Amino acid sequence: MINNPVYVTPEELAQQEAAMERIAALPNRPETYHIVTYGCQMNAHDSETLAGMLESMGMTEAQDRTQADLVLFNTCCVRDNAERRALGNVNWLKELKKDKPGLLIGVCGCMVQKPQMAEKILRQYRFIDLAFGTHNLHQIPSMLETLLTQKTRVVRVSDQENLIAEGLPQHRAVPYKGFITIMYGCNNYCSYCIVPYVRGRERSRRMDDILREAEGLLESGVQEIMLLGQNVNSYGDGEAETFPRLLRELDRLGVPRIRFMTSHPKDLSDGLIAAMAESVHVCNHLHLPVQSGSDEILHAMNRRYTRETYLERVSALRQAIPNIGLTTDLIVGFPGETDAQFQDTVSLVETVGYDSAFTFIYSAREGTAAAKLPGRLSAEVTGERIATLIRTLEAGAQKAHRSLIGTVEQVLVEGLSKRDEHMVSGKGRRGITVTFPGSAADIGTIQTVQITSSAVNTLRGERK
């Protein structure tokens, strides 16, 4: 389903820009900021945009939260523990504020967008100065101005779910990698998932805006672009094959490496597989969340594919791109999941042989369809199931990684190895971490590496 986005008007963007300039000139404004980010890469990229706006107001990034004049928590609410962790950490800052009364504390993102959450925050966390939802991110300049000039707590949670704000400044976490959000929100309503309720309706950016942003990143020297969205392969204006067309256009620009996530298996078309196979710069990696290997559970999850169609898509991918690395997301303990249904997930994982996976225990989210279902499983059962699943995944990954010994990988170096300062590590095009001898001078460059050994999660190699 296509929703027409509403673009934040140039007038409103100009007002926010003017607020940024006024804040930069304020004598009592925060000098330093620190953003704590929870959750997915969309959130990580939202934090880059928040940082960009704070820098445009004259602030600089503090090393940690104890050094900062403004601390922002960009929250997640996909699972209960992400929410609890965020609130626990916010509470910890209450003590810091006693010693540093001028400290400003803000919370934003998905958790704040939940119904009644902002009111709860105001009531229960009286030391929080600023709270805003996912649809208000672009308004941080005017919110901060109100906070600083009127000395009043500010809360903004809009229910306008189809907004897109173009052209906001960004402060990228690393110079060699650039994230581009190509679409926002989600319409899929998987029965367990809260994302459609807190991120709004699915809406896509204009292709020209995306290409212009990619050109800018390329000029600034990025080596890799990651396209982001909850369901990137349904990107577009309703016409068929818009996402493959976007990939081919980006490939033509000459960005050294292109990745994207997340893809929904139901929208993995032959056209997309062909675009991936034929584009020089698109990496041979696909994150393709399966969630479960049981048809009954997939149906109850409202995933709109079956085990058979998922496996057929995997075969089609491997036929077109033999060296493709596959990763996935899996949920154990969906309400009513029987042992036999769980075994279907184990056998699917054995059949596919993923390079790695994110595994989750089902967490009931108020307001979602699955939260009303009977058959919640005990922590003992879900604990055993997730341990079995992780063992199965590791066995498959070890096999897949061993098969890469002797091959050559192009590795984008991201840092020194944590265990050995004479080694560097980064990701190959297939998405697996590779370590090899090197120095800090290699960070941000792409190196050719021959794989010499493998472990569960990493590969080792020698520079060629």
Residue numbers at the binding site for ligand SF4 (CB under 6 A): 186, 188-190, 193, 195-196, 230-231, 264
- Considering only residues 43, 262, 392, 435, which one is a binding residue for ligand SAM as defined by CB under 6 A? 262
State how far the Cα of 370 lies from the Cα of 193, in Å rounded to an integer.
8
Q: Which stretch binds ligand SAM (CB under 6 A): 88-96, 189-197, 336-344, 427-435?
A: 189-197
User: What part of residues 327-366 is at the interface with ligand SAM (CB under 6 A)?
Assistant: 329, 331, 360, 362-363, 365
Out of ligand SAM, ligand SF4, none, which partner does residue 396 contact, by CB within 5 to 8 A per kind? none
Out of ligand SAM, ligand SF4, none, which partner does residue 246 contact, by CB within 5 to 8 A per kind? none
Q: Using the Cα atoms of residue 50, residue 51, residue 55 and residue 57 in order, give the sign of their dihedral.
A: positive
Out of ligand SAM, ligand SF4, none, which partner does residue 196 contact, by CB within 5 to 8 A per kind? ligand SF4
CB burial of residue 160 (10 Å; 0-12, 13-18, 19+): exposed
CB burial of residue 322 (10 Å; 0-12, 13-18, 19+): exposed
State how far the Cα of 244 lies from the Cα of 90, in Å rounded to an integer.
42
Out of ligand SAM, ligand SF4, none, which partner does residue 210 contact, by CB within 5 to 8 A per kind? none
Out of ligand SF4, ligand SAM, none, which partner does residue 417 contact, by CB within 5 to 8 A per kind? none
State how far the Cα of 135 lies from the Cα of 198, in Å rounded to an integer.
9
* Least distance CB 301 / ligand SF4 (angstroms): 8
Residue 171, both tokens = 């402060």
* Least distance CB 113 / ligand SF4 (angstroms): 14
CB-based contacts of 370, cutoff 8 Å, min separation 6:
191, 192, 300, 301, 334, 335, 362, 364
* Least distance CB 374 / ligand SF4 (angstroms): 22
* Least distance CB 214 / ligand SF4 (angstroms): 24
Considering the rule CB under 6 A, would residue 389 count as an interface residue with ligand SAM? no
- Which residue, 329, 347, 349, 336, is CA-closest to 400? 349
What would the x/- binding string for ligand SAM be over residues 213 to 252, using CB under 6 A? -----------------xx---------------------
* Least distance CB 162 / ligand SF4 (angstroms): 16
Out of ligand SAM, ligand SF4, none, which partner does residue 331 contact, by CB within 5 to 8 A per kind? ligand SAM
User: What part of residues 60-99 is at the interface with ligand SAM (CB under 6 A)?
Assistant: 78-79
- Nearer residue to ligand SAM within complex by CB, 260 or 436: 260
Considering the rule CB under 6 A, would residue 192 count as an interface residue with ligand SAM? yes
- Nearer residue to ligand SF4 within complex by CB, 204 or 223: 204
- Nearer residue to ligand SF4 within complex by CB, 188 or 328: 188
- Nearer residue to ligand SF4 within complex by CB, 197 or 436: 197
* Least distance CB 351 / ligand SF4 (angstroms): 22
Q: Which stretch binds ligand SAM (CB under 6 A): 13-21, 160-168, 188-196, 376-384?
A: 188-196
Cβ-contact 413, 438 below 8 angstroms:
yes
- Nearer residue to ligand SF4 within complex by CB, 298 or 314: 298
* Least distance CB 112 / ligand SF4 (angstroms): 18
Tokens 């068929």 belong to residue: 240
Out of ligand SAM, ligand SF4, none, which partner does residue 92 contact, by CB within 5 to 8 A per kind? none
- Which residue, 365, 283, 308, is CA-closest to 331? 365
- Nearer residue to ligand SF4 within complex by CB, 189 or 358: 189
- Nearer residue to ligand SAM within complex by CB, 176 or 362: 362
State how far the Cα of 179 lies from the Cα of 56, in Å rounded to an integer.
19
Considering the rule CB under 6 A, would residue 291 count as an interface residue with ligand SAM? yes
State how far the Cα of 147 lies from the Cα of 104, in Å rounded to an integer.
9
* Least distance CB 40 / ligand SF4 (angstroms): 9
Contacts with ligand SAM, residue ranges (CB under 6 A): 40, 78-79, 192-193, 195, 230-231, 262, 264, 289, 291, 329, 331, 360, 362-363, 365
